[in-house]
Structure 1
Amino acid sequence: MPVPPAENPVDDILCHYPDCGTWRSVLTTVRTAGIGPHIVEYRKTSPTRAG
C-alpha cells in the first residue's frame, strides 16, 4: 500500500555506494515505490557533521 505524501515533504538523501549489490537492490526498491531520492556518491562528496 503506498504511503501518502507528507504535508511538509523533505528531500530524501541517500549516500550512494555503487559497488554494493544490497545498495543497488535498495535503490531499485525505493525508486519502484515512486520515491525519487537525491543521490550523493559519498566517495566523491564526503558527508559533513551537522553541528
Structure 2
Amino acid sequence: MEQNVQLQAEIDQLKTQLTGDLFSDMDLKDQIHNLEMKLNGVRPMDSHIDCVGCGS
C-alpha cells in the first residue's frame, strides 16, 4: 500500500511538469505511463515474459 502511495505521488509530480507540447512532453508521458502500469499491476498484452522496461 505504501508503494502505491509513493507511485501515485511520483505520477502527480510528473504531471505538474507537463507543458501541453506533445514533443517536449514525450519523455514525461512515457515515465508516467510506466509508473501507472506498475501502480495498476499491468503488463503489456501478450507478454508471457517480464517487461524489461517497467519490471512488471
Decide: shared fold, TM above 0.5. no
TM-score after normalising by structure 2: 0.37
Higher relative contact order (CA 8 A, sep 6+): 1
TM-score after normalising by structure 1: 0.39
From the two aligned structures, give the one with the greater strand fraction.
1
From the two aligned structures, give the one with the greater helix fraction.
2
